[in-house]
């Protein structure tokens, strides 16, 4: 009975260890242009919190998910501030909005498939600052890259090998103790 229980426990650990070794991926964002650099990091697939068009709004399709928003620490030219960032769909010019005060950067949609389940696209994108008071059009570059992890995550096979060795050592100790009790009695 004990051998069957041990085998079952070992088999269960083989299936659960790979699940615990998974790490969330993070994307790094760098927005540069007009002598300014802003950086921030967000989960590669943030939870969608879509804004839905209210009924009767003629600017968008009724019930359509038009954007999602996040709040994060943005470092602009070395100065960190907590900012709200909205990512609209390409139906409404795409790009991103940072603020308050709101700065609107127009460009392509930066996520797929939709605002309810967003995953950021990796690459370099050209954005235009929507500033009517500027004498000329201001172009910015947004680069989205996956963050490189500095902390190594142990491979599931390494963890399984360690667990198997630990279990074998425990079995050896138990059987040595049993043998010793039999000899003494």
Instruction: Tell me, yes or no, whether 130 and 169 share the same domain.
Output: no
Verify that 121 and 62 share a domain, yes or no: yes
Residues 128 and 38 in one domain: yes
- CA–CA–CA angle 127, 27, 70 (5° rounding): 70
Q: In terms of domains, do 167 and 80 share one?
A: no
Given the structure tokens 């963050």, which residue do they identify? 147
Q: Is 72 exposed, middle or buried (0-12, 13-18, 19+ CB in 10 A)?
A: middle
Do 99 and 166 reside in the same domain of the chain? Answer: no
Q: Are residues 51 and 95 in the same domain?
A: yes
Question: Do 14 and 35 fall into the same domain?
Answer: no
pTM above 0.85, yes or no: no
Are 53 and 87 in the same domain? Answer: yes
Cα four-point dihedral sign 114, 131, 139, 73: negative
Q: What is the mean pLDDT of the chain?
A: 78
Question: Given a cut of 80, is residue 106 above it in pLDDT?
Answer: yes
Are 25 and 37 in contact by the 8 Å Cβ rule? The answer is no
- Are residues 33 and 76 both part of a single domain? yes
State the total domains in the chain.
Answer: 2
State residue 19's pLDDT score: 47
**pLDDT tens across 86-97, in order?**
998 865 578 999
d(CA 122, CA 32): 16
The pLDDT tens digits of the residues spanning 9-44 come to 555 555 554 444 444 689 999 999 999 999 999 999
Burial of 43 by CB count in 10 Å (0-12 exposed, 13-18 middle, 19+ buried)? middle
Instruction: List the beta bridge partners of residue 31.
Output: 38, 142
Q: Which domain holds residue 13?
A: 2-20+155-184
> Does 104 lie in the same domain as 13?
no
Question: Rounded to whole angstroms, how far apart are CA atoms 53 and 48?
Answer: 15
Residues 32 and 103 in one domain: yes
Task: Kindly state whether residues 50 and 103 are assigned to the same domain.
Answer: yes
């Amino acid at each position: 009975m004990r051998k069957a229980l041990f085998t079952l426990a070992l088999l269960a650990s083989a299936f659960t260890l790979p699940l615990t070794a998974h790490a969330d991926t993070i994307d790094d964002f760098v927005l540069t242009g007009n002598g300014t650099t802003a950086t921030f990091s967000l989960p590669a697939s943030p939870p969608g919190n879509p804004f839905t068009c209210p009924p009767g709004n003629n600017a968008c399709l009724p019930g359509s998910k038009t954007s999602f928003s996040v709040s994060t620490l943005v470092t602009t030219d070395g100065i960190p501030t907590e900012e709200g960032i909205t990512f609209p769909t390409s139906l409404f010019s795409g790009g991103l909005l940072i603020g308050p005060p709101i700065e609107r950067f127009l460009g392509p949609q930066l996520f797929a498939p939709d605002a309810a389940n967003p995953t950021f696209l990796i690459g370099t994108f050209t954005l235009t600052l929507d500033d009517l008071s500027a004498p000329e059009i201001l172009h910015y570059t947004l680069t989205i890259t996956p963050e490189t992890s500095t902390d190594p995550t142990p491979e599931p096979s390494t963890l399984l090998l360690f667990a198997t060795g630990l279990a074998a050592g425990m079995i050896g100790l138990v059987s040595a103790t049993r043998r010793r009790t039999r000899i003494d009695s």
